[in-house]
């Protein structure tokens, strides 16, 4: 069920991420690093505001506010990560990019399941060099979703 929710979030958020990225690119006259920095600052403020708003109800609203806060933070982060990927020139329709967006959500430089993999997989971003044929793609996506689900359960 979590995988279905993540797929839905990714599919619905990435189209807006392209428009968002392009608006930041225009704002900063094509300066990619300035655009990314401003995008991160804006989304950090946005996530903090959402966290504050969902926390205002205190302990009485916690059963409703906690899942709402978690889901909104996931949407905000996927949108930001996808916009950064677009600004860096990656195609958001590429399955590799989609998997790496999910890996970024786990807040790990190196996903737990990659530690047992080949030593060539130094950091999570090194997965871009992984052999992405059909056999490997399904396994890596399954592991990325599992790592994300485990990180969400710990949160």
- Rounded to whole angstroms, the Cα distance separating 35 from 129 reads 26
Return the number of other C-beta atoms located less than 10 Å from residue 115's C-beta: 10
Q: Per mean pLDDT, which of 48-57, 99-108, 129-138 is the most reliable? A: 48-57
For residue 123, pLDDT over 90 is answered with: no
How far apart, in Å, are the Cα atoms of 68 and each of 17, 63, 110? 21, 9, 28
Reported as a single tens digit per residue, the pLDDT across 23-40 is 999 998 888 889 989 999
Buried residues in 77-113 as b, exposed as e (16+ CB within 10 A):
bbbbbbbbbbbeebebeeebbbbbbbbbbbebebbeb
What mean pLDDT value characterizes the chain? 76
Q: Where are the domains of the chain?
A: 1-90, 94-155
Helix axes 134-154, 95-105, angle to 10 degrees: 20
Q: What are phi and psi of 94, to 5 degrees?
A: -70, 130
Rg (CA), the chain: 16
- Rounded to whole angstroms, the Cα distance separating 77 from 48 reads 12
Q: What percent of the chain has pLDDT over 70?
A: 70
pLDDT score for 155: 52
pTM higher than 0.75, yes or no? no
Reported as a single tens digit per residue, the pLDDT across 139-152 is 666 776 676 666 66
For residue 71, pLDDT over 90 is answered with: no
pLDDT score for 120: 35
| Confidence grade of residue 74 (pLDDT, cut at 50, 70, 90) | confident
């Amino acid at each position: 069920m979590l995988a279905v929710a993540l797929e839905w979030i990714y599919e619905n958020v990435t189209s807006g991420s392209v428009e968002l990225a392009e608006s930041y690119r225009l704002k900063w006259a094509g300066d990619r690093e300035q655009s990314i920095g401003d995008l991160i600052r804006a989304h950090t403020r946005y996530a903090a505001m959402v966290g504050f708003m969902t926390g205002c109800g205190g302990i009485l609203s916690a059963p409703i506010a906690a899942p709402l806060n978690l889901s909104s933070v996931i949407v905000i982060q996927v949108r930001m990560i996808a916009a950064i990927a677009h600004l860096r020139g990656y195609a958001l329709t590429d399955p590799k990019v989609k998997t790496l967006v999910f890996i970024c959500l786990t807040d790990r430089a190196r996903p737990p399941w990659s530690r047992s993999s080949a030593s060539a997989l130094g950091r999570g971003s090194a997965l871009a060099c992984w052999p992405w044929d059909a056999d490997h793609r399904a396994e890596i996506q399954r592991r990325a979703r599992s790592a994300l689900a485990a990180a969400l359960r710990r949160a």
